[in-house]
Homo-oligomer: A and B are copies of this chain.
Amino acid sequence: MAATRAPRLTTKGQATRRRIVEGAAEEIRERGIAGTTLDDIRARTATSKSQIFHYFPGGKEELLLAVAAREAERVLEDQEPHLSNLDTWSAWQSWRDAVVARYERQGINCPLGMLITELGRATPAAQALTSQLIGQWQAALRTGIQRLQDTGEVDPQLDADRTAAALVAAVQGGVTILMSTGRLNHLEAALDTSLTFLRTAAPNVG
């Protein structure tokens, strides 16, 4: 697929491309996908038509894919600095609170979800993007669980990767229900139950 073969860019070119993607992301967050034209994005980012097509030869679809990739990065960035430092129970609790606060702010409109729907959830590009996000998220949580295992807080027998997969699913489900009902309580219950599970997975002192 053309959208994944970006031209090699100079440092300045990378900065311009990034500026277009950031501007497009803001425009789409404000107006929605249907309400955003390439001309709106050109105006907001002060770029010419030929610049847009230089950086996104595939046109609007390729740009939307780049915006979706940026929104996927944001999902993880918004969980920092907690997500990369899950060394203690208190860090886990801070992460839990940051996740709830992020999705409470976001409410029922998920920019990434709208972009994935627009691109076609079943398309290879959208599936690759979603799989990568889930993989990175799960790896960060797995590392956190392993640190609790290293410090003797959690049973070393627990399958850290599978528990991290369950935790990503729990958050995803809570967010999906929030987007369908406008209510946060499933996300909170999912996070709290997962953390209680981790806490009760203490090593058996023999």
Contacts and interface: CB of A to CB of B under 8 A. Distances in A.
Interface of A: 108, 116-117, 121-122, 126-127, 130-131, 134, 162-163, 165-166, 168-177, 179-182, 185-187, 189-190, 192-194, 196-197, 200-201
A126 to B, nearest CB: 8
A191 to B, nearest CB: 8
Given A122-B108, A200-B200, A168 B162 contact: no
Given A122-B108, A168-B177, A177-B134, A197 B186 contact: no
Contacts of A165: 185-186, 189-190
Nearest to A201: B200
A171 B200 CA distance: 21
B177 A190 contact: no
Contacts of A127: 180-182
Given A131-B181, A172-B186, 5 more contacts: A121-B180, A127-B180, A165-B186, A166-B170, A196-B197
A194 B193 CA distance: 9
A70 to B, nearest CB: 18
Contact of A173 (B116, B173, B185, B193): B173
A3 B106 CA distance: 29
Contacts of A193: 162-163, 166, 194, 197
B200 A186 contact: no
A185 B121 CA distance: 18
A123 to B, nearest CB: 11
A65 to B, nearest CB: 15
A195 to B, nearest CB: 10
Contacts of A196: 197
Given A108-B122, A180-B121, A169 B174 contact: yes
B169 A116 contact: no
